Amino acid sequence: MLKKLFFIILSINAFCFSAKSQDEMLKAQSLYSSNFTIDGITRTFTFYTPAEYGKKDQYPLVIFLHAAGETGKTLIKTYGDLVNTKADSTGCVIVYADAVAEKWNTSHADKDSINDIGFFSILIDYFVQRYQCDAQQVYITGFGNGADMALSLACALPGKVKAIAPFFSTSSQVCNIPATIMVMNTKEIAPQTNKDTIIAAVWNFFMMAANKQ
């Protein structure tokens, strides 16, 4: 028993040392790809470290969700320059997450389905604990199926989400989103709206939410 306990302690210490070493190697204004396994499924994501990374104690976390049939890299290709520039100016860490088979599972009813709610719960904790993200400043935006997922997360994780900006949602799911979560009214924004306008609107909304702490 003592030998087993000693081995576990050594393993934890080795992990902490490895994590610290990896974090010290992170550079500002950089994209990193990472993954972890949940329910035997490898979940992947890409994240961006802002210009001020390494100079502050905490950073807001913005999670950007792709539409069905896309990936996080699709968002990076289309919106990356705009989003990362906003991240630099506001000191936000950005996460571009990937859905399994390019489609988010917004329902938690089927026990055999992909547990995206659990994935994001773990993902948020991971960035709070490992990358100094502020647990009180977690913001989620997305398009189409990604917007549906943002709404589901506001319903399922009210204690972990500060504000959401769901664009072009097709979800018929209705839930009582707590009043503590700010929801951007995106219904008046057309799909053909200039992407610069969309990203600017999202950031203005999230920064307004941050000021209402």
DSSP string, 102-124: G--------TTS--HHHHHHHHH
- For the chain, percent of residues with pLDDT exceeding 90: 77
What span, in angstroms and rounded, lies between the C-alpha atoms of 100 and 128?
23
What does the pLDDT read at residue 175?
Answer: 82
pLDDT tens per residue, range 130-146: 999 999 999 999 999 99
What span, in angstroms and rounded, lies between the C-alpha atoms of 45 and 202?
21
Q: Which stretch of 6-20, 49-63, 137-151 has the lowest confidence by average pLDDT?
A: 6-20
Tell me the pairing of strands 59-65 and 30-38. unpaired
CATH architecture for residues 30-210: 3-Layer(aba) Sandwich (3.40)
Nearest to 166 by CA among 184, 188, 152, 190: 184
Strand order through the sheet with 182-183: 30-38, 41-49, 93-97, 59-65, 133-143, 163-167, 182-183
Q: Which stretch of 15-19, 40-44, 85-89, 95-99 has the lowest confidence by average pLDDT?
A: 15-19
pLDDT at 103 over 80: yes
Pick the residue with more confidence: 213 or 131? 131
What span, in angstroms and rounded, lies between the C-alpha atoms of 199 and 31?
19
What does the pLDDT read at residue 19?
Answer: 41
Arithmetic mean of pLDDT, 83-101: 98
pLDDT at 7 over 60: no
pLDDT at 107 over 90: no
pLDDT tens per residue, range 181-212: 999 999 889 989 999 999 999 999 999 999 98
pLDDT tens per residue, range 115-174: 999 999 999 999 999 999 999 999 999 999 999 999 999 999 999 999 999 999 987 666
Instruction: Name the average pLDDT for the chain.
Output: 87
Arithmetic mean of pLDDT, 18-32: 71
Helix (H) or strand (E) holding 189, with range, is: none
What does the pLDDT read at residue 173?
Answer: 64
